[in-house]
């Protein structure tokens, strides 16, 4: 479902937040394997879902119509399922709200994790620290 060449509009903000999570875990964990620090940093709560409102709207709309997203990587699929679950709840609780507004609110709300694999988190952190 991803468009080739699509770019996240907020890479800098996400990267700073991920690096901060990494540093906090590094400080807390001390002498554990670095891979464990990457894993824990990726699992830290994030200030928002790191996907654009537009892209989330496209995917959530498709999911609500019954389209499957099984071709996405596991973490991305988990993220969209969580967004969809929250959007559905808002739509049920607030009948007058539009799908666009519900999706916007969910994407900009705190996320339970970064939805990155430890390998992706490691690559981003190494790039940021270079």
pLDDT in tens, 31-77: 778 888 899 999 999 999 999 999 999 999 999 999 999 899 999 99
Please tell me the total count of domains within the chain. 2
Torsion of CA 129, 38, 14, 116, to 10 degrees: 140
Is 5 domain-assigned? no
Same domain for 40 and 72? Answer: no
Of the pLDDT bands very low, low, confident and very high (cuts 50, 70, 90), residue 4 is very low
Same domain for 95 and 66? Answer: yes
Same domain for 53 and 103? Answer: yes
Of the pLDDT bands very low, low, confident and very high (cuts 50, 70, 90), residue 3 is low
Asked if 41 contacts 125 with a C-beta cutoff of 8 angstroms, the reply is yes
Asked if 18 contacts 125 with a C-beta cutoff of 8 angstroms, the reply is yes
Same domain for 64 and 97? Answer: yes
Is 124 domain-assigned? yes
Range of the domain at 16: 11-47+112-130
- Residue 31 CB coordination number (10 Å): 4
The pTM of this model reads: 0.86
- The partner residues of 46 in beta bridges, in order of sequence, read 111
Of the pLDDT bands very low, low, confident and very high (cuts 50, 70, 90), residue 7 is very low
């Amino acid at each position: 479902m991803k468009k080739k060449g699509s770019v996240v509009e907020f890479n800098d903000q996400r990267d700073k937040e991920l690096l901060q999570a990494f540093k906090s875990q590094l400080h807390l964990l001390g002498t554990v394997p670095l891979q464990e620090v990457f894993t824990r940093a990726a699992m830290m709560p994030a200030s928002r879902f790191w996907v654009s409102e537009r892209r989330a709207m496209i995917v959530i709309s498709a999911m609500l119509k019954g389209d499957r997203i099984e071709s996405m990587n596991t973490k991305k699929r988990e993220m969209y399922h969580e967004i969809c679950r929250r959007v559905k709840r808002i739509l049920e609780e607030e009948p007058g709200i539009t799908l666009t507004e519900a999706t916007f609110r969910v994407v900009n709300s705190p996320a339970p994790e970064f939805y990155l694999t430890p390998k992706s988190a490691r690559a981003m952190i190494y790039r940021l620290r270079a």
